[in-house]
């Protein structure tokens, strides 16, 4: 059986993908979204807290950084849920197992509103720094904790970086989709034997953290960038359906001012016709059910994906 491709490719890989270019898919009408939507919007939130803050070389914690990170699960998540409810859209919360353990009421509220809970490591571990068995344990512990808190196991995953073992371990533990690549505009499929894993690629300029720090300028500048990204994808959807992913972090995008532009970008997208707001699992199930071909050329899958 071929080994699963990962962030470092080139071992033994024999997927049945990489058939058509994006241009061919656009021109022959093979891709379509439910209800003939023009564009699929993927709203994802990396739900982490103080796990992301590491002690300094003397073993001392930075109290300022830690409490900033804890704003998300303590306060910000509730503002985000209100915004999503007011716009009647569903999102995906890629949640650290440690957050699910410490803030069960937040996970319960997320699921009660019909949003998806996916995995994001246990303590926001840097996957590329983990040994294979360590990463396997992180995925299993996170899966089990989310199942315990959400009463439903996660089927999607986004790690802090990706290791050469990540995708194979996700196959092993029954995951449906992954969201770590930046290499394509459309979803594509990893295949290991008869098993398939949908990749929901990200956009670097759709990441709220890119513009979320104190020296990052006016929040309205962020809104201009987000609108430009969506508007271009929407314009290109006149050729064929497109995919527009956003990645937010509750400890940043829920802050007053930042949350306002989160609400505004959602409102801007909702003002357009033919927009499908989908969770990660909705996107992955649709992609697999329709058997869409993959937008990757084989010669490009050599070392980095």
10-38 pLDDT, tens digit each:
333 333 333 344 545 554 567 899 999 99
pLDDT beyond 50 at 3: no
Q: What is the mean pLDDT of residues 140-151?
A: 98
Which pLDDT band, with edges at 50, 70 and 90, does 64 fall under? Answer: confident
Determine the topology of domain 22-52+61-300 in CATH. Answer: TIM Barrel (3.20.20)
Give the C-alpha separation, 168 to 174, whole Å: 10
Query: Token pair of 85, please?
Result: 């409810």
Average pLDDT value over all residues in the chain: 85
Helix/strand/coil for 299: helix
How does DSSP classify residue 8? B
Query: Residue 10: its pLDDT value, please?
Result: 33
pLDDT beyond 90 at 281: yes
Tell me how far CA of residue 261 lies from CA of 90, 219, 256, 276, in angstroms: 17, 7, 9, 20
In this structure, are residues 212 and 190 in contact, taking their beta carbons and an 8 Å threshold?
no
Helix H or strand E encompassing 197 = strand 195-199
Which pLDDT band, with edges at 50, 70 and 90, does 8 fall under? Answer: very low
In this structure, are residues 48 and 72 in contact, taking their beta carbons and an 8 Å threshold?
yes
Q: What is the pLDDT of residues 195-208, one digit of tens each?
A: 899 999 999 876 65
How does DSSP classify residue 255? S
Query: Residue 66: its pLDDT value, please?
Result: 85
Tell me how far CA of residue 67 lies from CA of 56, 74, 76, in angstroms: 16, 10, 12
CA-closest candidate to residue 276, choices 118, 41, 13, 14: 41
Which pLDDT band, with edges at 50, 70 and 90, does 287 fall under? Answer: very high
Query: Residue 183: its pLDDT value, please?
Result: 84
Query: Residue 212: its pLDDT value, please?
Result: 53
Q: What is the pLDDT of residues 252-272, one digit of tens each?
A: 999 999 999 999 999 999 999
Query: Residue 104: its pLDDT value, please?
Result: 98
Name the pairing type of β-strands 195-199 and 177-178. parallel
Give the C-alpha separation, 78 to 201, whole Å: 27
In this predicted structure, which of 7-11, 151-155, 293-297 has the lowest mean pLDDT?
Answer: 7-11
- More confident: 22 or 44: 44
């Amino acid at each position: 059986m071929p080994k699963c491709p990962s962030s470092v490719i080139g071992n033994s890989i024999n997927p049945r993908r990489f058939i058509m270019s994006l241009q061919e898919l656009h021109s022959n009408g093979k891709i379509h979204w439910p209800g003939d939507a023009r564009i699929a919007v993927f709203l994802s939130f990396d739900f982490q807290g103080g796990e992301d803050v590491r002690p300094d070389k003397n073993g001392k914690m930075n109290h300022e950084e830690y409490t900033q990170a804890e704003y998300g699960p303590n306060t910000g998540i509730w503002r985000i849920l209100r915004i999503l409810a007011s716009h009647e859209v569903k999102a995906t919360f890629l949640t650290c197992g440690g957050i699910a353990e410490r803030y069960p009421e937040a996970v319960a509220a997320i699921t009660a509103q019909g949003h998806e809970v996916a995995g994001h490591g246990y303590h926001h571990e840097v996957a590329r720094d983990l040994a294979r068995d360590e990463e396997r344990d992180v995925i299993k512990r996170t899966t089990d904790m989310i199942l315990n808190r959400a009463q439903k196991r996660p089927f999607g995953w986004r790690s802090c970086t990706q290791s050469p073992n990540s995708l194979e371990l996700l196959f092993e533990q029954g995951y449906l989709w992954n969201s770590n690549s930046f290499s394509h505009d459309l979803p594509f499929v990893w295949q290991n034997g008869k098993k398939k894993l949908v990749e929901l690629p990200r956009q670097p300029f759709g990441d709220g953290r890119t513009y979320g720090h104190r020296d990052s300028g006016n929040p309205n500048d962020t809104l201009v960038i987000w609108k430009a990204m969506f508007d271009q994808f929407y314009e290109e959807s006149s050729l064929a359906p497109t995919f527009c992913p956003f990645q937010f972090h509750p400890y940043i995008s829920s802050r007053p001012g930042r949350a306002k532009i989160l609400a505004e970008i959602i409102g801007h997208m909702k003002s357009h016709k033919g927009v499908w707001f989908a969770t990660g699992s909705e996107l992955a199930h649709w992609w697999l059910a329709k058997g869409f071909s993959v937008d990757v050329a084989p010669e490009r899958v050599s070392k980095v994906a």
